[in-house]
Amino acid sequence: MTAFVIGNFLLYCLINAFTPGPGNILALNTVTNYGWRKGKKLFFGIFAGYYVVQIICALFVFGIGTFLPNVLDVMKYVGAAYILFLAIHIAVSKPTEDTKSKSASFIKGFMLQFVNVKIYLFGITALTGFITDYSKELWVLIGF
């Protein structure tokens, strides 16, 4: 893998990390309203859930690459198009009124990531767009 590809991969990861998804928005809202001490359980739940979902994505890409290798080429474009759609939708959306927030917890942050479609598509697109051209081994996919 060339330095150019690694640089593009890291740039893709950085951009996706800062585009607002449900985890980013919930973490920001919770820490703003309750402070870091009360919000850190939620933050660590989001963090842990994110990495569990990424491991699931790596297992999925490994399975698809092993059993249906031609599907990986299509998946990278579908995922990239959906991420672009989300970015445009967020850019043109208008804020809604904030309702009363409930308490933050590790399990709420952790479980939020399992319904966060953005990170599934991010993981699958990142792996199929940058990594599987160089290696389809399970340990490499999980490492990235």
Q: What is the pLDDT of residues 74-92, one digit of tens each?
A: 877 877 787 788 778 777 8
Residues of the chain scoring pLDDT < 70: 95-103
Residue 77 lies in a domain: yes
Segments forming the whole domain that contains residue 139? 3-92+102-143
Note the pLDDT of residue 59. 92
Residue 83 lies in a domain: yes
Residue owning tokens 């319904």: 115
Residue 126 lies in a domain: yes
- pLDDT tens digits, residue range 90-112? 778 776 665 555 667 888 888 88
Residue 97 lies in a domain: no
Residue 130 lies in a domain: yes
The tally of domains found in the chain comes to 1
CA dist 49 and 21 (Å) reads 14
Residue owning tokens 């699958």: 124
CA dist 75 and 65 (Å) reads 11
Residue 22 lies in a domain: yes
Q: Is residue 132 within 8 Å of residue 142, measured between CB atoms?
A: no
